[in-house]
């Protein structure tokens, strides 16, 4: 049974690994040193690299990993801006690595080439979804990101969401400004605070919990729609995509 383990990198990134004790899949190794040290101390070999999108904090370590391990397969979006990808994958493709199968979903919105990997009950979603949050819209539109998040939200509810950043506490602080009475969110805040005080990751989270706590997945909730329609929509009906756009811009202003 393969083991899932996050390796911290930079300030708040996680490089997700799936390993069998000897070989490891590496998801978004943004920093070579962190992951190579982790592999060396555990006497493990990298089996393959999975990339979600082109941002440096996700791909920055790949060139060095390839130098040390020539021939390693690097799966990632078909995009010239990811020169270290050796196997370009996109919507509908299946990555077979370390005896496991991961389905590729196109999830544009944070960036246009962004993809996610789903398999064995895990979702590797890069910067598309965070606990109680989502990525910034750098390319495309908030509608595009909303549609991508809706696809992730439709996965089995026991899916473990492996996000690439430890943004949970900041995201909860923002989420409480738009859903101050959300009991599941208030519970998650207490639990997440305890995890961080103990120096532990708040991730992965269960998709069922994100559906209960993450406002960016809750834009069809009438109460949230009414709240966000107030100042901008004149109190009128706002649909889920419009609610999402307002929410994303409020979060941008929140920091
Ligand atoms: Zn990013
Ligand atoms: Fe990132």
Name residues of the chain where pLDDT drops below 70: 230-237
Q: Looking at the CA of 30, which ligand is closest?
A: 2
* pLDDT confidence of residue 237: 53
Ligand with the closest atom to the CA of 166 = 2
Whose atoms come closest to the Cα of 107: which ligand? Answer: 1
pLDDT at position 1:
80
136 Cα: distance to centroid of ligand 1 (angstroms): 8
Q: What share of the chain is helix, strand, coil (3-state, %, to 5)?
A: 40, 25, 35
**Per-residue pLDDT at 226:** 87
CB atoms within 10 A of CB 175: 25
Question: What is the Å distance from ligand 2's center to 116 Cα?
Answer: 13
Question: What is the model's pLDDT at position 230?
Answer: 60
Residues with Cβ within 8 Å of residue 105, at least 6 apart in sequence: 91, 115, 116, 117, 118, 151, 152
Question: Considering every ligand atom, which ligand is closest to the CA of 28?
Answer: 2
Distance, CA 52 to ligand 2 centroid (Å)? 10
Q: Which residues contact 181 (CB under 8 A, 6 or more apart)?
A: none
Cα of 126 from ligand 2 centre, angstroms: 7
> What was the pLDDT predicted at 125?
98
Q: How far apart are alpha carbons 230 and 217 in whole angstroms?
A: 20
CA of 204 to the centre of ligand 1 (A): 18
- Three-state DSSP state, 224: helix
pTM for the model: 0.97
Q: How buried is 104 (Cβ within 10 angstroms: 0-12 exposed, 13-18 middle, 19+ buried)?
A: buried
List, in sequence order, every beta strand (DSSP E) within 92-250.
94-97, 100-106, 115-119, 122-126, 129-130, 133-134, 160-163, 205-206
Residue 174, Cβ neighbours under 10 Å: how many? 19
């Amino acid at each position: 049974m393969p083991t899932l383990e996050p390796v911290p990198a930079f300030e708040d990134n996680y490089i997700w690994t799936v390993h069998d004790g000897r070989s490891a899949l590496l998801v978004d190794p943004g920093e070579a040193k962190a992951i190579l040290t982790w592999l060396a101390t555990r006497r493990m070999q990298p089996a393959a690299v999975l990339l979600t999108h082109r941002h440096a904090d996700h791909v920055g370590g790949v060139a060095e990993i390839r130098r040390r391990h020539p021939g390693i397969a690097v799966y990632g979006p078909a995009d010239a801006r990811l020169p270290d990808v050796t196997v370009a994958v996109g919507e509908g493709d299946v990555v077979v690595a370390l005896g496991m199968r991961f389905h590729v979903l196109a999830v544009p919105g944070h960036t246009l080439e962004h993809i996610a990997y789903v398999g064995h009950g895990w979702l590797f979603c890069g910067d598309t979804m965070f606990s109680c949050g989502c990525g910034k819209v750098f390319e495309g539109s908030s509608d595009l990101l909303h549609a991508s998040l809706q696809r992730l939200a439709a996965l089995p509810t026991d899916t473990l969401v492996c996000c690439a950043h430890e943004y949970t506490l900041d995201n909860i602080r923002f989420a409480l400004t738009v859903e101050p009475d959300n009991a599941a969110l208030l519970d998650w805040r207490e639990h997440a605070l305890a995890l961080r005080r103990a120096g532990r990751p708040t991730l992965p989270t269960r998709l069922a919990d994100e559906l209960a706590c993450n406002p960016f997945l809750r834009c069809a909730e009438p109460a949230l729609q009414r709240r966000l329609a107030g100042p901008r929509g004149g109190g009128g009906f706002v649909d889920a995509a419009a609610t999402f756009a307002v929410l994303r811009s409020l979060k941008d202003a929140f920091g």
